[in-house]
Structure 1
Amino acid sequence: MMLSGAEEFVRRSAKRVSLYRFHLDHCAQAKKILQVLEDRHGKANPANMRLADEYARDVFGDPVYAPWLRVYAAFCDTFKEGWIPDNYYAVVVVPQLKGLYGKIADLKPISQQLFDGDALPDVAYFANGLFFTDKSVAVPDRELKEVVFEHAERVVFKLDGSSQGKGVHFFDKASFDPERVRSLGNGVIQRFIVQHPMFSAFASKPVATLRFTTVVDDSGRISLRACYLRLGRADDTHIMSRRQICVAVKLENGELYDEGYSNWGAITAHPDSGVRFAGVRIPQFEQCVALVLRLHRKIPFARCVGWDVTVDANERVQVMEWNGGHNDVKFSEATQGPCFSDLKWERLRAVH
């Protein structure tokens, strides 16, 4: 249906307002982090800040992209060409290199159909009024509990589109109620993973995850660009973004960096357990890398994917979820970047 001139004006105006608010929010986030860095390490080098401002204007075409570049520069105490601002990634890269294909990651019942195998801990799904097994067979409510708990004592229900630790619910056989799940909305029921002892040493309750970032270049080659470990706090049932501990992982050997970060403040050990990061190597790291690269080959039309992976107590690699939308790149850019400089993403421009 053709829009009238007035309707088109309203639509474009609403989009501009939404985009303005989005950049304003990112600016506020970046300024807050910059303040944390300066409180700990002193005022950022003015020359680096000027370079960030100039790079945003000259390379990305807009000063709204300077705040994240300023954070990266303050974090590294230098300026590096090739960094991608997180808000530029969201409004320019994601729509052009993922589009609607990336959004299917929000529809959790689709994942098993895409990837097959036993890499996912999915046991059942609820979608549009029906429960299904991981083989897409409809299950009556009266049989659901038997299916869900056939090989698990505890399960996790994750809502479609859940992120940052929100929309996550835990059940055992006694507390599980199909009507309760129905009331929550569409999503996936997964086995509760008993994590590898190395992860439990940091925090035993929340399951630690590794965020792998893989990309597809213009020749169709798939490669790993970044990885970091996400740890929860001792009393959390699962990882919450606002409380998580992030530690970059060396891509060449799977070892943790010596320092991790809590709200961008550097720490050398987990704040609750006191376990240090230096010298720790991720179990089954090569297998984790091989798996995410293999899975990305099944969805190459989503050109950059964030994979949340863990290793269980039996050393099996499990993909807890994947993010084909705006997977966060700012932590990886600051700690391991520029991660994407050879891909020429800075040449892309927003589609209005």
Structure 2
Amino acid sequence: MVLDVESAIRKSLKQVAHYRFHRDHGAQARRVLQLIEKQYGRADPANLKLADVYAREVFGDGVYAPWLRVYAAFRGTFKEGWIPDNFYGSVVVPKLQGGYGKISHLKPIARLIFNGDEFPDLAYFANGLFFTGQSDVIPDHEVKEVVFRESDRVVFKLDGSRRGNGVFFLDRTNFDYRMIRSLGNGVIQKFIIQHSLFNTFASKSVATLRFTTVVDDLGGISVRACFLRLGREQDTHVQTDHEICVPVNLANGELDREGYMSDWGATEAHPDSGVRFSGLRIPAFDQCVATVLGLHKKIPFVRCVGWDIAVDADEKVQVMEWNGEHNDVKFSEATQGPCFSDLKWERLKIVS
């Protein structure tokens, strides 16, 4: 009897969480649709109707229509094969990532997993201990010496830091290990001196490339989407609320003619520097692709990963973060998608 009650409670809580998840996604998608229609005019009702029908017939529920409506309004047409962002989060992630993707939020284990120098990590703090990438514990009084051995400026990122939050910039004068202890677990990375191309857009924040890679059912690994994330003139780092995102051509690394503001408005140039996107090519793009594919081979059981990549002044690829959970597919689907149509993700069933 007790087990039956506990099971009923767990089921009820899961249903509540499921309802809230889709409610929140629906509200977000409707706000985005309003922004798109404000920028580009009313969406074609026929395309919106196709989105509604596709959500019910292919994904089995109308709760998946709002993001399909966004994609259709943005592109001015409807395309079969699009994956709604809330279907990705509620079905694809649990089914193809499981608990394994969640480890990406634990920044101190990146080097243990990937065992490479692609990450700019200098040291970690977790559960009361500072330690190196080789898992050697660092006494408190030696932390400053270790992290500034090869860098004059460092960045501390908290576990689970997202949307530009939980990021702290430190130098020799203001570094205090006690402050990091008070903040919580995370990683200390060297500050990246970015490639000169990215400085022409915004020099204070480090531009990052968001790659999405997937593992298919036969074990093949491929890049499915990429876009450049740029900060504004006043930003110390790229922040989701007012970044500029520019799709990148996967075949040659060239930037699209237009990038998009946080309100989904198109712009052909960075709004602060005035530098235009058209005709520019991402430096070391082939190396970026090779890096994310090589790293994903080490964790094939995390079937879809988002990688935040920087290219430094020496054209060396730096992996800032990886996200093996809900790494957000809506921008790529809207601008470059359908990105995953051959994978038949729509056939996946909800994990009960």
How far does residue 69 in structure 1 lie from its aligned partner after superposition? 0.2
Counterpart residue number, 1:112: 111
1:65: which partner in 2? Answer: 64
Matches of 1:163 and 1:325, distance apart in 2: 12
Query: What amino acid sits opposite 1:347 in the alignment?
Result: R
Cα deviation code 1:219-259 (max 9, x no counterpart): 00000100000001110111111111100000000000000
How do 1:284-295 and structure 2 match up within 5 A? 284-295=284-295
Q: Percent identity?
A: 68
> Counterpart of 2:47?
48
CA deviations on 1:279-321 (whole Å, 9 max, x unpaired) are 1100000000001000000000000000000100111110001
Say yes or no: does 1:231 pair with 2:230.
yes
CA 1:145/1:3 → structure 2, altered by over 3 Å: closer, same or farther? farther
When the two structures are superposed, what TM-score results if normalisation uses the length of structure 1? 0.98
Partner of residue 340, structure 1: 340
The whole-number CA distance in structure 2 between the counterparts of 1:216 and 1:117 is: 21
Distance 1:182 1:150 in 2: 20
1:213 aligns to 2:185 (yes or no): no
Aligned twin of 2:307: 307
Which structure 2 residue ranges, 5 or more long, are not aligned?
Answer: none
Q: Distance in 2 between matches of 1:216 and 1:7?
A: 37
Q: For 1:3 and 1:156, how far apart are their aligned partners in 2?
A: 50
Q: Deviations over 1:13-41 (max 9, x none)?
A: 11111111111111111111111111122
Query: For residues 130-169 of structure 1, what are the structure 2 equivalents within 5 Å?
Result: 130-169=129-168
Displacement of 1:3: 5.8
Correspondence 1:248-267 to 2 at 5 A? 248-263=247-262, 264-267=264-267
User: How many angstroms apart in 2 are the aligned matches of 1:14 and 1:90?
Assistant: 18
- In structure 2, how many angstroms separate the alpha carbons of the residues matched to 1:273 and 1:225? 30
Counterpart residue identity of residue 277, structure 2: F
SS at match of 1:279: coil
Counterparts of 2:172 and 2:301 in 1: how far apart (Å)?
Answer: 39
**How far did 1:43 drift?**
1.0
Q: Secondary structure at the match of 2:122?
A: strand
Residue 4 (structure 1) shift: 2.1
Q: Does 1:77 pair with 2:51?
A: no
Taking the aligned partners of 1:175 and 1:134, their CA distance within structure 2 comes to: 23
Stretches of structure 1 lacking an aligned partner (at least 5 in a row): none
User: What residue identity is the alignment partner of 1:324?
Assistant: G
Shift of 1:117: 2.2
Name the counterpart of 2:329. Answer: 329
1:7 Cα deviation from its structure 2 partner: 2.0
Partner of residue 203, structure 1: 202
For 1:276, the equivalent position in structure 2 comes to: 276
Report runs of 4+ in structure 1 exceeding 4 Å deviation.
none
For 2:269, the aligned partner's letter is: A
Paired amino acid for 2:311: V
- Which amino acid letter does the alignment assign opposite residue 285 of structure 1? F
Q: TM-score if structure 2 supplies the norm length?
A: 0.98
In structure 1, what is the equivalent of residue 175 of structure 2? Answer: 176
Match for 2:315: what amino acid? E
Equivalent residues, number: 351
**Secondary structure of the corresponding residue to residue 163 of structure 2:** coil
Secondary structure at the counterpart of residue 99 of structure 1: coil
Q: Aligned partners of 1:219, 1:11: CA distance in 2, in Å?
A: 35
The answer to whether structure 1 residue 123 and structure 2 residue 133 are counterparts is: no
